[in-house]
Amino acid sequence: MFPVDKFQDTRTPFYYYDTQLLRETLKTINEESGKHANYHVHYAVKANANQKILHIISQYGLGADCVSGGEIKAALEAGFPVDSIVYAGVGKSDWEIELGLQNDIACFNVESIAELEVINDLAQKHGKKARVAFRINPNIGAHTHANITTGLAENKFGIAMQDMDKVIDEAQTMANVEVIGLHFHIGSQILDMGDFKALCNRINDLQSQLAKRNVFVQNINVGGGLGVSYDNPDREPIPDFKDYFNTYATHLRLRNDQQLHFELGRSVVAQCGSLITRLLYVKQGSYKQFAIVDAGMTDLIRPALYQALHKIQNISSDEPNETYDVVGPICESSDVFAKAIDLNRCHRGDLLAIRSAGAYGEIMASGYNCRPLPEGYISEEFR
């Protein structure tokens, strides 16, 4: 599956992206979302902003969901149409708002009254009218890691439900904003469709509440969050988009002319990416053996930050399995990719693939310990 021979001359660690799988995933998303009238999928740029990846995604007609001025620039450079760009974020700086206004992006997802006032002022200054959606905090938990739950009242995200009416009233007094939607996002790596169903029920309630006041918004944006199989990337390379979209079709009540927007990140790119790392040393500890590799938490921080378990394979060896802790070279005890896992017997120089690393991998890399950032290559570059 990996062109191991062709990897030999490439400096490790690096990210490898299987573009055939990426394309198949995008095709599935388009087929499954296309079965529902009025569904629009945006790609959450935060998951992976490698230009080569962004460019492929933009070719499939997805919009872009951005959370910073830098991401808006990256999306524009990759060819996403401006009118498909939505911009969320709890702390937008003035220059970022101005960048969005100057480019006439599709929508600002607004997270507070204070932010709404700044957007209105800046829009007035530039002679623009900003389209806005209110990000509502629906106070819904998700069955995922606490660090990636976003829709609870205790989280910093979104406007509290009880303030929704007030915010909408306030916006109606402002000359340079136009309210076009409501936005939600309850968390990430969600595999229990019941969580999305709970979100649908909450949105139905909020919409009925608004209807009583004769407020009708054109767009509902339900964010992203669909999870992937980290245990079995080969058995489940493409997430169950059919079930995901059907969950919304079954439970969310939309008016005929209402548009439903999604912001999918992980489910689009996670499975097509692997972090390729070289084995430096096998070290015998007092009661275990360590496979010390040249990638560390600086290249892939998910195991250290969220206790994420990525499947690891020795792609250079087919010798019998032995048990290893796979660790990196960083001076931190949390620089561990996996404990007590079986790998084909390891030797210095072997290449290991850390799987399902296409989302929140390369983009979260840092230069801690003065390490260079890993490169990202697409499969075409190894032909």
C-beta of 259: minimal distance to ligand LLP in Å?
17
The residue among 302 and 311 lying less far from ligand LLP, judged by its C-beta, is: 302
Using CB under 6 A, which of the segments 42-50, 74-82, 171-179, 200-208 binds ligand LLP?
A: 42-50
The residue among 29 and 44 lying less far from ligand LLP, judged by its C-beta, is: 44
DSSP string, 44-106: EGGG---HHHHHHHHHTT-EEEESSHHHHHHHHHTT--GGGEEE--SS--HHHHHHHHHTT-S
Residue 67: half-sphere exposure toward Cβ, Cα within 13 Å: 17
Q: Which of residues 352-371 bind ligand LLP (CB under 6 A)?
A: 360
Kindly state whether residue 202 participates in binding ligand LLP, applying the rule CB under 6 A.
Answer: no
C-beta of 254: minimal distance to ligand LLP in Å?
19
C-beta of 266: minimal distance to ligand LLP in Å?
4
The residue among 123 and 268 lying less far from ligand LLP, judged by its C-beta, is: 268
Residue 42: half-sphere exposure toward Cβ, Cα within 13 Å: 32
Kindly state whether residue 302 participates in binding ligand LLP, applying the rule CB under 6 A.
Answer: yes
Kindly state whether residue 181 participates in binding ligand LLP, applying the rule CB under 6 A.
Answer: no
Kindly state whether residue 47 participates in binding ligand LLP, applying the rule CB under 6 A.
Answer: yes
d(CA 119, CA 109): 11
Q: b/e for 349-360, b at 16 or more Cβ within 10 A?
A: ebbbbbbbbbbb
Kindly state whether residue 189 participates in binding ligand LLP, applying the rule CB under 6 A.
Answer: yes
C-beta of 83: minimal distance to ligand LLP in Å?
19
Neighbours of 55 (CB within 10 A): 14
How far does CA 358 lie from the centroid of its chain? Answer: 10
- For residues 60, 255, 160 and 213, what is the CA-based torsion angle, rounded to 10 degrees? 150
C-beta of 244: minimal distance to ligand LLP in Å?
10
Residue 37 · residue 12 · CB < 8 Å: no
C-beta of 56: minimal distance to ligand LLP in Å?
17
Q: Which two tokens stand for residue 127?
A: 């002679």
Q: Which of residues 138-167 bind ligand LLP (CB under 6 A)?
A: 148, 150
Interacting residue with ligand LLP among 306, 368, 377, 382 (CB under 6 A): 306
Residue type (1 letter), 69: G
Kindly state whether residue 40 participates in binding ligand LLP, applying the rule CB under 6 A.
Answer: no
Containing H/E element for 302? Answer: helix 302-306
Using CB under 6 A, which of the segments 181-189, 192-200, 280-288, 311-319 binds ligand LLP?
A: 181-189
Write each residue from 81 to 100 as x if it is in contact with ligand LLP (CB under 6 A), else as -, in one continuous string. Answer: -------x------------
Using CB under 6 A, which of the segments 16-24, 39-47, 316-324, 371-379 binds ligand LLP?
A: 39-47
DSSP string, 349-363: T-EEEE-S-TTTTGG
Residue 146 · residue 181 · CB < 8 Å: no
Write each residue from 215 to 234 as x if it is in contact with ligand LLP (CB under 6 A), else as -, in one continuous string. Answer: --------xxxx--------
The residue among 7 and 17 lying less far from ligand LLP, judged by its C-beta, is: 17
Residues 6 or more apart whose CB falls under 8 angstroms from that of 90 comprise 111, 112, 156, 157
Q: Which of residues 247-266 bind ligand LLP (CB under 6 A)?
A: 263-266
What angle, 0 to 180 degrees and rounded to 10, lies between the N-to-C axes of helices 113-125 and 94-102?
A: 50
What is the size of the binding site for ligand LLP (CB under 6 A)? 22
The residue among 149 and 314 lying less far from ligand LLP, judged by its C-beta, is: 149
Binding positions for ligand LLP, rule: CB under 6 A: 44, 46-47, 65, 88, 148, 150, 185, 188-189, 223-226, 263-267, 302, 306, 360
